[in-house]
């Protein structure tokens, strides 16, 4: 399949984690025989610096004419005092709106190997598997009017929370449909004891639920939901909520499962899907090569699942991430004292190694199968070689471009094996 993507590395740790996510995608495409067309464009602060616009026309055009968009992160302290429309975040919000991406899916899963990384007790986080469905194009983020006005010392600031019935119904449908593929539970989170928007939200969600008698709907106020999330995270299946509450609760969910660096997201519902890690630009660690690329890598899995229906490929990436964590590989955000923390590219390489080890090379493209069920060794070997080339290229480019703070070049995995067919030790 042809995967035609726009890559928006953005700001802060965005480029570092996106590099690794793209390498994993290249390796996966190699293994499964997909063809990649990648167009890299500026967004956010990087675009402001280059062309004084956080979402330049050619970036938007590229996004609209590709099949999916992978984004790193936007924002940074250098832009904190810029007017609202010239902030990096304004570029991202405009992009979400232009793509019509109203449904933001944010899974928060506690990997078994990471139960001890959570600030909560392992028996509390064990089995946590939450999908936050956040409305992405409404509420306070986009409501008009908005302003800061008045003379210095007595200015007034105004934001508007606004929701229409069709807007609520369409995101509710997404949540109920997704719940049907999971544990059949939707918890709608609002503040209906105070806000009109939330009262309408509750009414429309309840009405929509009548189309889904097999899904159990419950409602919860956002303050109470915040508490329950840390007390009993396992009780939550699909969490359906409006834009601002979803922003806040998804960061909390990241903390619960061990690190915000693990969380991926998909923003769908419009013409082109947008995929990004939840963590943001993290300026405090940008350029140090220590960011966790797993949120970006898992965003690639979501991209394959939701924009291309490549479920098997998506699952391969998710399994590879599970494998590296089971093998004890940790970036700094996950390492406990005494554990060695991997650099960003080392974690990316570990995921590629786990992909290669997993035997997914069995998935030979149809044209190469020619009646055989098994991969023919020479085909397999060629593919392994190309995979290793990706390692080596990554190793060189990453080392050249961003070795600040490292005392030695990133290590390559000691050995890459392709189950049963070939074992090749990479060149160093």
Q: Minimum distance from CB of 379 to ligand IPM (Å)? A: 41
Which CB atom, from 198 or from 299, has the smaller least distance to ligand IPM? 299
Nearer to Mg ion, 15 or 254 (CB): 254
- Which residue lies nearer to ligand IPM by CB, 6 or 281? 281
In whole angstroms, how close is the CB of 60 to Mg ion at the nearest point? 22
Where do the H-state alpha helices sit in 70-157? 88-99, 122-125
| Residue 272 lies near ligand IPM (rule: CB under 6 A) | no
Collapsing DSSP to helix, strand or coil, 137 comes out as: coil
**357 binds ligand IPM, rule: CB under 6 A:** no
**Residue from 251, 288, 369, 389 carrying the catalytic annotation:** 251
- Min dist CB 291 to Mg ion, Å, is 16
Q: Is 247 in the site for Mg ion (CB under 5 A)?
A: yes
Q: Is 191 a catalytic residue?
A: yes
* Known catalytic membership, residue 333: no
**C-beta nearest to Mg ion: residue:** 247
Q: Torsion angle of alpha carbons 17, 22, 24, 30, nearest 10°?
A: -170
Find the shortest distance in angstroms from Cβ 144 to ligand IPM: 17
**Residue 239: which of 186, 160, 277 has the closest Cα?**
186
- Select from 45, 56, 75, 293 the one that contacts ligand IPM (CB under 6 A): 75
Is 53 annotated as catalytic? Answer: no
Select from 247, 318, 333, 346 the one that contacts ligand IPM (CB under 6 A).
Answer: 247
**What would you report as the CA-atom Rg of the chain, rounded to the nearest whole angstrom?**
22
3-state secondary structure of 359: coil
Write down the catalytic residue from 19, 102, 191, 306. 191
**Is 242 one of the binding residues for Mg ion (CB under 5 A)?**
no
Shortest Cβ 205–ligand IPM spacing (Å):
21
Alpha-carbon span 79 to 91, nearest angstrom: 12
Q: Which does 75 bind (CB under 5 to 8 A by kind): ligand IPM, Mg ion, none?
A: ligand IPM
Q: How far is the CB of 404 from ligand IPM (least distance, A)?
A: 24
d(C-alpha 304, C-alpha 3), whole Å: 9
11, 19, 247, 333: the catalytic one is 247
Query: CA 191, CA 348: separation in Å to the nearest integer?
Result: 41
Our finding on whether 313 is near Mg ion (CB under 5 A) is no
Interaction of residue 48 with ligand IPM, rule CB under 6 A? no
216 part of the active site: no
From candidates 53, 89, 167, 333, binder to ligand IPM by CB under 6 A = 89
- d(CA 66, CA 61) in angstroms, rounded, equals 9
Q: Which does 108 bind (CB under 5 to 8 A by kind): ligand IPM, Mg ion, none?
A: none
Q: Residues of 400-424 as b/e, b for ≥16 C-beta within 10 angstroms?
A: eebeeebeeebebbeebbbeebbee
Q: How many CA atoms are closer than 13 Å to the CA of 149, on its beta-carbon side?
A: 5
Closest approach, Cβ 238 to ligand IPM, in A, equals 18
- Rounded to an integer, what distance in angstroms lies between the CA atom of residue 393 and that of residue 249? 38
Catalytic (active site) residue 247: yes
Site string for Mg ion, 101-120 (x = CB under 5 A): --------------------
The beta-carbon contacts of 156-164 under 8 Å, at least 24 apart in sequence, are 161/195, 161/197, 161/244, 162/138, 162/197, 163/135, 163/138, 163/139, 163/197, 163/200, 163/201, 163/242, 164/138
> What are the backbone dihedrals phi and psi of residue 223, each rounded to the nearest 5 degrees, phi first?
-65, -40
End-to-end CA distance of the chain: 32
Instruction: Please say whether the beta carbons of 140 and 159 come within 8 A.
Output: yes
Residue 135 interacts with ligand IPM (CB under 6 A)? no
Q: Which is nearer to ligand IPM, 201 or 245 (CB)?
A: 245
Catalog residues that contact ligand IPM under the rule CB under 6 A. 74-75, 89, 92, 247, 278, 280
Active site residues: 141, 191, 223, 247, 251
Catalog residues that contact Mg ion under the rule CB under 5 A. 247
């Amino acid at each position: 399949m042809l995967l035609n993507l726009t890559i928006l590395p953005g700001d802060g740790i965005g480029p570092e984690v996106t590099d690794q996510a793209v390498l994993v995608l290249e390796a996966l495409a190699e293994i499964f025989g997909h063809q990649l067309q990648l167009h890299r464009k500026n967004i956010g602060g990087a675009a402001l610096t280059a062309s004084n616009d956080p979402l330049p026309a050619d970036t938007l055009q590229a996004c609209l004419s590709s099949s999916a968009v992978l984004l790193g992160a936007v924002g940074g302290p250098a832009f904190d005092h810029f007017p609202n429309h010239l902030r990096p975040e304004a570029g991202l919000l405009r992009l979400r709106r232009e793509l019509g991406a109203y449904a933001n899916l944010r899974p928060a899963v506690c990997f078994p190997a990471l139960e001890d990384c959570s600030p909560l007790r392992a028996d509390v986080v064990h089995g946590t598997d939450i999908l936050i469905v956040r409305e992405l194009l409404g509420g306070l983020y986009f409501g008009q009017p908005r302003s800061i006005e008045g003379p210095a010392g007595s200015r007034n600031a105004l934001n508007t929370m606004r929701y229409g019935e069709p807007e609520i119904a369409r995101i509710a449908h997404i949540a109920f449909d997704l719940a049907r593929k999971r544990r059949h539970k939707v918890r709608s989170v609002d503040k209906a004891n105070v806000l009109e928007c939330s009262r309408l939200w509750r009414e429309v969600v309840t009405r929509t639920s009548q189309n889904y008698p097999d899904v159990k709907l419950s409602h919860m106020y956002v303050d109470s939901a915040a508490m329950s999330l840390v007390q009993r995270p396992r009780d939550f299946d699909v969490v359906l909520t409006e834009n601002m509450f979803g922003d806040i609760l998804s960061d909390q969910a990241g903390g619960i499962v061990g690190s915000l660096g693990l969380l991926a997201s998909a923003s769908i519902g419009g013409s082109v899907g947008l995929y990004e890690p939840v963590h943001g630009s993290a300026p405090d660690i940008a350029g140090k090569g220590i960011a966790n690329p797993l949120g970006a890598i898992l965003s690639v899995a979501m991209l394959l699942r939701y924009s291309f229906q490549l479920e098997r490929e998506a699952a391969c990436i998710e399994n590879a991430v599970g494998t590296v964590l089971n093998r004890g590989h940790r970036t700094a955000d996950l390492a406990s004292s005494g554990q060695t923390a991997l650099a960003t590219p080392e974690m990316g390489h570990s995921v590629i190694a786990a992909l290669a080890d997993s035997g997914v090379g069995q998935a030979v493209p149809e044209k190469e199968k020619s009646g055989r069920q098994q991969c023919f060794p020479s085909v397999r070997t060629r593919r392994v070689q190309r995979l290793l080339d990706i390692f080596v290229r990554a190793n060189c480019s990453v080392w050249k471009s961003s070795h600040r703070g490292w005392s030695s070049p990133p290590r390559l995995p000691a050995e890459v094996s392709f189950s049963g067919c070939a074992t090749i030790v990479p060149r160093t």
